[in-house]
Structures are given as structure tokens and as C-alpha cells.
Amino acid sequence: MSLWHLEWLRLTRTRRLVALLGVYVFFGLTGPLTARYLSEILGSLNTDGVRVELPDPTPADGIAQFAGNASQIGVLVVVLIAASALAFDARREMAVFLRTRITGVRAVIIPAYAVTTGAAVAALLLGTLAAWYETGVLLGPLPVARMLAGIGFGAVFLAFAVAAVALAAAAVVRGVLAAGGVTLAVLLAMAILGGIGGLGRWLPTTLAGAPAGLVDGTAPGFYLPATAVTVAGTAAALAGAIVLGGRREL
């Protein structure tokens, strides 16, 4: 059995793929629904006689609701699933089994990275398509080119997030939760720094909000600097994970 097949079985038989797809599709269906009926929901919860009035929702609001949940809870699920695949040194028996049968950790990291990233991107695609459909039904049509560009930018960000997990698992910590926690802390720090001046235009976390930003009028060129940094960072993180993971002793 090849390591590629092993990673696929690990993803499917443990129901991690179902959980990943379910999270994104759930938010894809409920995000536009929340945007459409938020005013009515808040009004029904009000018991003090205060009337809550919100602007009429737009198609951009439906995608913004989905993108907000996907960039938080969705990414959390992606990072934890990636950590369970890439932090193979956390399980000593598994680490010994793999390291004594391969010529280098690259043979382990690349399949785990590629399969996990592919699953994450597939989940993002399905979730976005669900949000796209639901928004079209409830709020109105969306620009096709900008939606497709948003999916592309989001996929680049998820590829970076999984690569960051690989680096954390190889160079910083051993445990699954520790690798996930370090990665989430780094992503959170990037998101905070993104609010400082024009720095956000260069940070990978900016791409997570690209689907909402693009349909709300942000020019696609705004995300190009972050895309360049993210692609370079992904390659560097993977290379670092392979080099440092190969030097780690059991």
C-alpha cells in the first residue's frame, strides 16, 4: 500500500473528510440564509419593545456571512485535520514504522500535505458553490468571474495553512494539538497584523476574506501581493518541514 493510498484511507475511514465537507457546506447553506433573515431573527428575540432595523441585505452580505464562518471555524477544522496527518511523530509507533521504511520524510510529508490540501480545497469549493446558489435564490445574482477568483484566492490560503501545519509539526512541536495550536496562533497573529495600515495586503490571511471582498467591490489586484507572499511562504514552509523533519530524532 502506497503512502498516498494510506493518507486517502486515513482521511475517509476516520470520517475526517465528511466532517470537513460538512462544515463548509453547512456554512455555505446557512450563511446567506442568516444574512437574508437576520433582521427578522433579531426582531423576534427583542422583548423590550425596541425595534431593530438593518439595511436590506445584498448578495455580498450572503457571501460575507459564509466567508466569515469559513475563515474561522472552517480553517480551524482544516488545521486540526492537517495536524492529525502531518504530526506523525506524535505517535512513536507510527513514527518508527514510517521512518524505518522510507528514505526521507519527504515521502511522508508530500502525500499527507497534498491529500489534506486537496480535501480542504474541495470543501471550500463545495461550500462556496452552496453559498453561491443560496445567495442567488435569496438575495440576488453574483458576479461569476469574481466568485471564481475568490475561490482561487481561498484555495491558495488553505494550501498555505496546511503547509504551516507541516512546518510546525516538523520543526516546533510533536503533538497533534500542539501543531494545530501553533499554526492557529500564527494565523491569528497575521490576521491581527493585517489590520495595521496597509500590511494586510501582503499577508496570507487576507486571502481568506477574498470571496467576500471581491463581490463587495474590491479589485482583484488588491490580493495579488498577498498571493505572491502566500505562494512563496507555502513553498518555504514545505521545504523547511522536509529539511527539519529529516533532522529530527525519535
The Cα–Cα gap between 135 and 129 comes to 10
What is the crossing angle of helices 224-247 and 144-171, to 10°? Answer: 20
Say whether pLDDT at 127 is over 60: yes
- Identify the pLDDT of residue 64: 93
pTM: 0.90
Longest CA–CA separation in the chain, Å: 70
Question: What's the pLDDT band for 142 if we cut at 50, 70, 90?
Answer: very high
Percent of the chain with pLDDT strictly greater than 70: 87
The helix, strand and coil proportions of the chain, stated in percent and rounded to the nearest 5, come to 80, 0, 20
Whether the CB-CB separation of 86 and 113 falls below 8 Å is answered with yes
Cell 484511507 sits on residue: 9
The Cα–Cα gap between 73 and 139 comes to 24
Higher-scoring residue by pLDDT: 130, 103: 130
The average pLDDT across 196-209 equals: 89
What the block records as the C-alpha cell of 99 is 521512518
The average pLDDT across 121-125 equals: 97
The Cα–Cα gap between 127 and 150 comes to 12
Question: What's the pLDDT band for 75 if we cut at 50, 70, 90?
Answer: very high
The Cα–Cα gap between 154 and 15 comes to 23
Q: Which of 78, 65, 80, 153 is nearest to 123 (CA)?
A: 78
The pLDDT tens digits of the residues spanning 9-53 come to 888 888 899 999 999 999 999 999 988 887 776 666 665 656 656
The average pLDDT across 189-201 equals: 86
- Identify the pLDDT of residue 105: 82
CA triple 121-127-131, angle to 5 deg: 140
DSSP 8-state class, residue 174: -
Say whether pLDDT at 166 is over 80: yes
Say whether pLDDT at 143 is over 90: yes
Higher-scoring residue by pLDDT: 145, 100: 145
Three-class DSSP category at 192: helix
- Identify the pLDDT of residue 57: 83
What the block records as the C-alpha cell of 95 is 513514527
Determine which of 10-24, 50-64, 190-204 has the lowest per-residue pLDDT on average. 50-64
